[in-house]
Amino acid sequence: MRPGKMLREVLRTGLKKPVTVLYPKEKLDLPEHFRGKLKFNPEKCIGCKLCMKDCPTNAIVINQVGEKQFEAAIDLGKCIYCAQCVDSCLKKALEYTKEVELAQLDAQKLKVVFGAEIKSDTKKTSL
């Protein structure tokens, strides 16, 4: 590269804002439809279990907890955030969020139950 051209390139890139961010101090601006932690809306669920059947890692289990009442037990440690369950759910009872900071030292804390009573080995959560 000729020195003149090189100098122009150095100035051009040197004046640009870096594309990287200082995470975790700065947060990434995640795009729409980013596949983060799942959210379950129990009032929409009809218990068809299509989400369960289609999940490639068996990360989601739908349990009936009352008449027309269902809970979703999701193992976030098994979930690969593919959103197949979201696509499979005809009632739109499942959706993804932009929540990505899910790291845990205790694997049991990755087992969450949405929309039901707290179980001994799982943690109830609401998003």
Task: Name which of residues 45 to 74 contact ligand SF4 (CB under 6 A).
Answer: 45-51, 55-57, 59-60, 62, 70, 74
Residue number with CB closer to ligand SF4 (6 or 46) = 46
Q: Which of 37, 50, 46 is nearest to 84 (CA)?
A: 50
Specify the stretch interacting with ligand SF4 by CB under 6 A; choose among 9-17, 77-85, 106-114, 119-127. Answer: 77-85
Min dist. Cβ of residue 65 to ligand SF4 (A): 12
By CB under 6 A, residue 98 contacts ligand SF4: no
Q: For binding to ligand SF4 (CB under 6 A), which residues are involved?
A: 38, 45-51, 55-57, 59-60, 62, 70, 74, 79-85, 88-89, 91, 93-94
